Amino acid sequence: MRECNGTAMSSPSSPRGGEGRGEGVAAITPDSRLGELLERWPALEQVLVELSPHFQALRNPVLRRTVAKVATLRQVSKVSGVALGTLVERLRAGAGLAPAAFADEAGGAAHARPDWARPEAAARTHDARPAIAAGEHPMARVMADLAALGAGEVYVLVTPFVPAPLVDLAREKGFDGWSAVEGDALVRTFFRRAGAR
């Protein structure tokens, strides 16, 4: 993440400042990765927790090592329900960066369950919670399972949180995805080939 927006980057040892030190340019934008921001500015964790109780999960070291490493602020906004502009604005302020305007995007609100996203429709189900608890990332297994999915078949992934980066990757590969938060640390994400009936 080295996007240029004209704001000088803070040094890792200092939460603010860094201007004039030739350290490059900081950007906290919708496409910034949450894990990178938290590594550079650890105090941003508290800013996030104040924004939404969803961010309490960042205190889980497994989540920090897996999803937080790859999730963008755009994805985090969708999962948490915090408006993207508000999220970016508060994080930039917490990092001591100048304000920058980013438009809020549609998609923060949950969409209605599609007809095909039903547990009884599942051709295959993978409970990734044990692997995630062991510090493993389920992405390779899930992508292999999806590649083997037949037309019209539904795949269900069970995780302790909404796997937004994985859902986005699956969509890029031609799959529909929809997540249902069913309880504390219980999320079922349904996948099928896009356009399947």
In the chain, the percentage of residues whose pLDDT exceeds 70 is 82
Q: How far apart are CA 44 and CA 34, in angstroms?
A: 10
**Which of 66-80, 96-110, 164-178 is least confident?**
96-110
Name the residue ranges covered by the structural domains of the chain: 1-109, 119-193
Arithmetic mean of pLDDT over the chain: 79
pTM check: above 0.75: no
Residue labelled with tokens 């390779």: 140
- 52 vs 38, which has greater pLDDT? 38
Q: Averaged over 32-43, what is the pLDDT?
A: 92
**How many other CB atoms are there within 10 angstroms of residue 23's CB atom?**
13
> What pLDDT score does 104 carry?
62
> What pLDDT score does 106 carry?
47
Q: Is 139 exposed, middle or buried (CB count within 10 Å of its CB: 0-12, 13-18, 19+)?
A: middle
Residue labelled with tokens 């994080």: 91
Q: Which CATH number fits domain 119-193: 3.40.50, 1.20.1420, 3.30.110, 3.30.70?
A: 3.30.110
> What pLDDT score does 7 carry?
30
Q: Which two tokens stand for residue 18?
A: 């860094």
Q: 53: pLDDT confidence band, cut at 50, 70 and 90?
A: confident
Instruction: Please list, residue by residue across 168-183, b when 16 or more beta carbons sit within 10 angstroms of its beta carbon and e when fewer do.
Output: bbbeeeebbbbbbeee
Q: 32: pLDDT confidence band, cut at 50, 70 and 90?
A: very high
> What pLDDT score does 115 carry?
92
CB 157 within 8 A of CB 192: no
SS3 call for 136:
coil
For residue 109, pLDDT over 70 is answered with: no
> What pLDDT score does 145 carry?
97
> What pLDDT score does 111 carry?
64
* AA letter at 151: A
For residue 103, pLDDT over 70 is answered with: no
**How many other CB atoms are there within 10 angstroms of residue 188's CB atom?**
18
Span 57-69, pLDDT tens digits: 788 777 777 777 7
CB 89 within 8 A of CB 120: no
Span 117-172, pLDDT tens digits: 999 999 999 999 998 888 888 899 999 999 999 999 999 999 988 888 888 899 99
Strand order, beta sheet including 154-159: 122-127, 154-159, 186-193, 175-183
SS3 call for 130:
helix
Instruction: Please list, residue by residue across 123-133, b when 16 or more beta carbons sit within 10 angstroms of its beta carbon and e when fewer do.
Output: eeebebbebbe
In the chain, the percentage of residues whose pLDDT exceeds 90 is 40
In terms of Cα–Cα distance, which of 74, 77, 85 is closest to 109? 77
